[in-house]
């Protein structure tokens, strides 16, 4: 499978625990995005990387959230001291930079997501 | 700032046409359209770029009105497989800016 891979697919945790999600992007993509999606809502931007550099992080994201992409390949998203409001689907997407005039549209390829339930 | 999508929901019979809209209060560099089926990841449909360039799906068309900062997605002769939630995403300042999604429009196509 050459798509975006996310692990674990499901995570149930107790309030106050730390959780970590992993995303393996499509190998030739240098951009990686994290989004959060709750029922009935669109994907909410969390952060994105170009190679290993974190280019932007949502101001809505509290200090309990951190993301890394140390070698410019896979990425991890850690949530510390989880709260019930963190329950959501965490989506990862990858892309290559859009190139004008070519076939590359800069479209995002999404993984299946990691569903977090905080009890 | 999140783009605004309308209407909130659409119900169609197979073969009917539909138009769904996405608008922003700020200037847009590009608009993306994605479709998400229940329990699945969003899938890319179409991108519209400032200046009118358009890339994407063979059976679905879209427009981008730069003056109104609005994009519309046209679904013609709808099929059962078109059912799902349609999200528009926008980049404001260029190809390197983040992609922000609207809340989505649920489209249901019935036999």
Question: pLDDT tens digits for B49-87?
Answer: 776 656 666 678 888 888 888 889 988 889 999 999 999
Q: Give A89 to chain B, closest Cα distance, Å.
A: 10
- The C-alpha atoms of residue A81 and residue A76 are separated, in whole angstroms, by 16
In chain A, residues with a C-beta closer than 8 Å to the C-beta of B95 are: 97-98, 106
CA-based nearest residue in chain B for residue A32: B98
CA-based nearest residue in chain B for residue A98: B95
In chain A, residues with a C-beta closer than 8 Å to the C-beta of B101 are: 35, 42-45
Distances in Å between the Cα of B60 and the Cα atoms of B70, B75, B110 are 17, 6, 18
Q: Band of the pLDDT at B29, cuts 50, 70, 90?
A: confident
Residues of chain A short of pLDDT 50, as ranges, are: none
CA atoms in the 13 A half-sphere facing the CB of A44: 14
Domains and CATH numbers, chain B: 4-110 (2.60.40.10)
- The C-alpha atoms of residue B52 and residue B54 are separated, in whole angstroms, by 6
Q: Band of the pLDDT at B14, cuts 50, 70, 90?
A: very high
B 8-67 near A (Cβ less than 8 A): 30, 32, 34, 40-44, 47, 49, 53, 55-56
Q: What is the mean pLDDT of residues B26-36?
A: 85
Tell me the helices (H) and strands (E) count for chain A, helix number first: 0, 11
């Amino acid at each position: 499978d050459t798509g975006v891979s996310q692990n674990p697919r499901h995570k149930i945790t107790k309030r106050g625990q730390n959780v970590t999600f992993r995303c393996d992007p499509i190998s030739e993509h240098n951009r990686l995005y994290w989004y959060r999606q709750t029922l009935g809502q669109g994907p909410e931007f969390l952060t994105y990387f170009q190679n290993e550099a974190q280019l932007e992080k949502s101001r809505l994201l509290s200090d309990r959230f951190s993301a890394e992409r140390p070698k410019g390949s896979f990425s991890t998203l850690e949530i510390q001291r989880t709260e019930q409001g963190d329950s959501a689907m965490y989506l990862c997407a990858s892309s290559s930079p859009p190139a004008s005039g070519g076939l590359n549209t800069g479209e995002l390829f999404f993984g299946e997501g990691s569903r977090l339930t905080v009890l | 700032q999140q783009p605004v999508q309308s209407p909130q929901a659409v119900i169609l019979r197979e073969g009917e046409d539909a138009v769904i809209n996405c608008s922003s209060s700020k200037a847009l560099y590009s608009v993306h359209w994605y479709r998400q089926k229940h329990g699945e990841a969003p899938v890319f449909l179409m991108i519209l770029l400032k200046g009118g360039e358009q890339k994407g799906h063979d059976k679905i068309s879209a427009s981008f009105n730069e003056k109104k900062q609005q994009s519309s997605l046209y679904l013609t002769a709808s099929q059962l497989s078109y059912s799902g939630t349609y999200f528009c995403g926008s980049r404001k300042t260029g190809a390197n800016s983040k992609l922000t999604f609207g809340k989505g429009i649920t489209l249901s196509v019935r036999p």
